[in-house]
Structure 1
Amino acid sequence: MRVVAPARARKLAKVPFVELADGRLQGVVSSGSSLERVYVSSVAAGSYAFACSTNNNRPCGGAQGWICNHIRALVKEAVLQYGAQRVARYLKVEPAEAPPAAEDITAGIVAARPAQQQDGKAAAAPVFSRFLRHLAYLELAPDTAPLPEMQWFPATRAAVA
């Protein structure tokens, strides 16, 4: 399995976790008003159904029938992490501009007039769980010994040679 390097470095304070998985662009977005609150946001590929709720399943006040700022931030960070072409292709968005930018992808989603997902709570739990799992790795002391649960990661060329 090939590991894709980030398109550009990104700041993790606003969107600490973003992934293209389970047929969705999904991730964790920090709250603009509280340091202790985060939102789990997602946009489904193709249907553009979206969901946004706090980590304890309270609905986002800004995502009431419209895409909120958390989802806009998620799209922007996904473009930094994966590149605009890959995000647009994954979400099946046909942006007006080529090459697309994050704003073009968001505009394509809004133009499709998506409905908010009804299963936003079901999607939030595994995303937040994976985010917490990633945070646990940050607490480990630096070591060169292998981690058994990380054995599935591909070896780099330098390690293979």
Structure 2
Amino acid sequence: MLEWERSSTARVTPPARPRKLAKVPFVELADGRLQGVVSSGSDIGRVYVSSVEAGSYAFACSTNNNRPCGGARGSYCNHIRALVDEAVLQYGGERVARYLRVETAGDDEPSSVALFSTMVTARPSQQDATAAATVFSRFLRHLAYLELRPGTAPLPEMQWFPPTRAVA
């Protein structure tokens, strides 16, 4: 067994390349989707929750208060494009392509442009934004951890196992 497998901490995969968090502060490959939070280009107080489903490339984009994105009318909006761009920076093109099941023409490390154009060619459908609340909630939890002071004390919400009582 490797040393890190015996550890109580999780190994963190470093980003493929540094990202600028102002435009896309949160991106993840989870729940069978590429999903994340994208800042509005016109209103500093508005963010969009965007997602692309693996395999079908079905997409959803809405504001944090569940208003539909005006640019996502039958095709990908600029928020989805920004999400794909940042996912490739965070995870690398090969990993994003594998997760979304995007077949690119022999690229070992496909670019976000290659991924996006392949997904657009598939003519994906727009889906309802049912996952938006979950994604936005994860984003807010992520922000809460960034505000914590550095320390070694355990965080109760990070403890996965219930406390055991000593048997007398």
Same fold (TM over 0.5): yes
Q: Structure 1 residue 7: deviation in Å? A: 0.8
Kept after mapping to 2: 8 A contact 1:25/1:91: yes
For the residues of structure 2 that align with 1:13 and 1:97, how far apart are their CA atoms?
Answer: 32
- 1:106 counterpart = 2:116: yes
For the residues of structure 1 that align with 2:137 and 2:154, how far apart are their CA atoms?
Answer: 23
Segments of 5+ residues of structure 2 without an aligned counterpart are 1-9, 161-168
Runs in 1 of length 4+ with deviation above 3 angstroms?
A: none
For the residues of structure 1 that align with 2:87 and 2:100, how far apart are their CA atoms?
Answer: 11
1:147 is aligned to 155
- 1:130 counterpart = 2:130: no
Pick aligned residue for 1:58 from 56, 64, 67: 67
For the residues of structure 2 that align with 1:57 and 1:23, how far apart are their CA atoms?
Answer: 21
2:126 is aligned to 116
- 1:9 counterpart = 2:18: yes
> Quick one: structure 1 residues 2 and 142, their matched pair in 2 at CA, closer, same or farther if it must change by over 3 Å?
closer
- 1:72 counterpart = 2:81: yes
Query: C-alpha offsets along residues 80-113 of structure 1, whole Å, 9 cap, x if unaligned?
Result: 1100000000000012361310000001110000
- 1:90 counterpart = 2:99: yes
> What letter matches 1:89 in structure 2?
R
For the residues of structure 1 that align with 2:103 and 2:159, how far apart are their CA atoms?
Answer: 37
Kept after mapping to 2: 8 A contact 1:28/1:128: yes
Q: Structure 1 residue 145: deviation in Å? A: 1.4
Q: Structure 1 residue 138: deviation in Å? A: 1.8
For the residues of structure 2 that align with 1:107 and 1:40, how far apart are their CA atoms?
Answer: 21
Q: How many percent of aligned residue pairs carry the same amino acid? A: 77
> What letter matches 1:95 in structure 2?
T
For the residues of structure 1 that align with 2:152 and 2:84, how far apart are their CA atoms?
Answer: 35
Segments of 5+ residues of structure 1 without an aligned counterpart are 153-161
Query: C-alpha offsets along residues 16-37 of structure 1, whole Å, 9 cap, x if unaligned?
Result: 0000000000000000001000
- 1:34 counterpart = 2:70: no
Decide which structure has the larger Cα Rg and report it.
Answer: 2
> Quick one: structure 1 residues 76 and 97, their matched pair in 2 at CA, closer, same or farther if it must change by over 3 Å?
farther
TM-score by length of 1: 0.89
> What letter matches 1:75 in structure 2?
V
Number of residue pairs the alignment of both structures matches: 150
For the residues of structure 1 that align with 2:112 and 2:45, how far apart are their CA atoms?
Answer: 27
